[in-house]
Amino acid sequence: MPHATRRAALRATLRDRELDALLVTNLLNIRYLTGFTGSNAALLVSAESDAASVFCTDGRYLTQAERQVPDLERVIDRPCDLALAQRAHKDGNRRAGFESNHVTVEGLDALGEAAEDVELVRAPGLVEQLRLVKDDAEVEALRMACAAADRALASLIEHGGLRAGRTEREIARELESRMLDHGAAGPSFESIVATGANSAVPHHRPTDAVVHAGDFVKLDFGALVDGYHSDMTRTLVVGPAADWQRELYELVATSQAAGRHALVPGAAVSDVDRAAREVIEQAGYGEQFLHGLGHGVGLQIHEAPALSKAGDGTLLPGMTVTVEPGVYLAGRGGVRIEDTLVVREGGPELLTLTTKELVVV
């Protein structure tokens, strides 16, 4: 099962770092390693074996833990992190890592008291490093999330949901409802619907602004399936498109294609950003491209790697990222085009399949 495989990979890292165990307290990391979806838990992953690892939650989740975490010893206690710190001492661990990027100063003091003579070692980002590369089960969940978003947008357009006279809020609510209809547990994040001049605001929040004929309408949205987030942006025109709108759209589409083409294993993330950004800069709109090119996506809507000028690291097969260049003309309108893709040998796998041709509705 994928969770056991992920824990095995983590154990190899712990042994490399000469750690006897890792106390995992971040709920998303616990979900990644066990499948548990409750709101309170901790996990002590032993460098030795799963048989020496322990999962803890409280009594509210007794039945759920039995179902979701059948392959580990389960402890019912509270607070979970302190219970497992004590367990680390009881089991004779000498050096135990903890997620220092998630533990507060106060929390560390309490862990130290509970762990007694166990040396607590800062070990930030060990699970997040594993999460960078998605396994087959994760990619399938992402594929389903992207499909739900694709179908929701197609249904919205087909049934006249994007038309003059509607407000941004009305469109956003209907789009999110249609994602639920097509298999999503919910939206990945608060959907962005921005019409007219509002489309020039990268993260505009929907208002009662009314769509008018000739407006750009930018929709940035995603679906949540099995805990995994999709992310997609499409910019459409309601009614006849003006020449400047078509020209701006084609520029962003060309930039986005360049960014997708640059998604190859071994590429520096900053080089991927540069490939798309240069297209826009050469057209004289560099100052109107106001953000990084993209980001990783998975159990979080924004996670590593960051595709940006200052981004660190290189792409690996199985990383799932967005490519989303945009040009924003203040007071006039803006275009962003975004896809979710998996980095693959031979070219990226596109998960968001809605057309990137300019749609006029």
- Extended beta strands in 73-115, E state: 73-76, 95-98
Instruction: Reply yes or no on whether the pLDDT at 49 is more than 80.
Output: yes
Q: Give me the mean pLDDT over the 198-219 stretch.
A: 98
* Residue 36 φ then ψ, to 5°: -75, 135
Distance between CA atoms of residues 66 and 71, nearest Å: 9
pLDDT at 230: 98
Region 72-89 average pLDDT: 98
Instruction: State the pLDDT at residue 183.
Output: 97
- What is the helix (H) or strand (E) element at residue 86, kind and residue range? helix 80-90
Residue 325 · residue 252 · CB < 8 Å: yes
Mean pLDDT over each residue of the chain, to the nearest integer? 97
**Tokens standing for residue 117:** 């003579």
What's the rounded Cα separation, in Å, for the pair 296 and 131? 10
Predicted local distance difference test score (pLDDT) of residue 273: 98
Type of residue numbered 168 = E
Cα dihedral sign for 13, 19, 22, 28? negative
* 186-187, strands of its sheet edge to edge: 186-187, 223-225, 228-229
> Mind giving me the DSSP string for 204-271?
PPP-SPBP-TT-EEEEEE-EEETTEE--EEEEEESSSPPHHHHHHHHHHHHHHHHHHHT--TT-BHHH
The C-alpha atoms of residue 158 and residue 284 are separated, in whole angstroms, by 36
Q: What share of residues in the chain are helix, strand, coil (percent, to 5)? A: 40, 25, 40
pLDDT of residue 340: 98
Determine the longest span between alpha carbons in the chain, in angstroms.
72
- Residue 90's CB is within 10 A of a number of other CB atoms, namely 11
Confidence of residue 299 (pLDDT cuts 50, 70, 90): very high
Is the pLDDT score of 39 beyond 80? yes
Q: Tens digits of per-residue pLDDT, 210-243?
A: 999 999 999 999 999 999 999 999 999 999 999 9
Residue of 146, 202, 199, 213 lying closest to 168 (CA atoms): 199
Q: How many CB atoms lie within 10 A of CB 176?
A: 19
User: What is the rounded average pLDDT of the residues 52-79?
Assistant: 98
How far apart are the C-alpha atoms of 219 and 234, rounded to whole Å? 5
pLDDT given at position 303: 97
**% of the chain exceeding 70 in pLDDT:** 100
What is the C-alpha separation between 144 and 306, in angstroms, rounded? 23
Is there a contact between 81 and 122 (Cβ–Cβ < 8 Å)?
A: no
- Binned at pLDDT 50, 70 and 90, residue 59 comes out as very high
pLDDT, position 43: 98
Q: Is the pLDDT assigned to residue 1 strictly greater than 80?
A: no
Span 316-338, pLDDT tens digits: 999 999 999 999 999 999 999 99
The number of residues making up the chain comes to 361
pLDDT of residue 134: 98
pLDDT of residue 254: 98
At residue 160, the pLDDT reads 96
| 22 strand-pairing partners | 45, 97
Asked if 150 and 352 touch (Cβ cutoff 8 Å), the reply is yes
- Per-residue pLDDT band for 144 (boundaries 50, 70, 90) equals very high
pLDDT digits (tens, 9 = 90+) for 150-167: 999 999 999 999 999 999
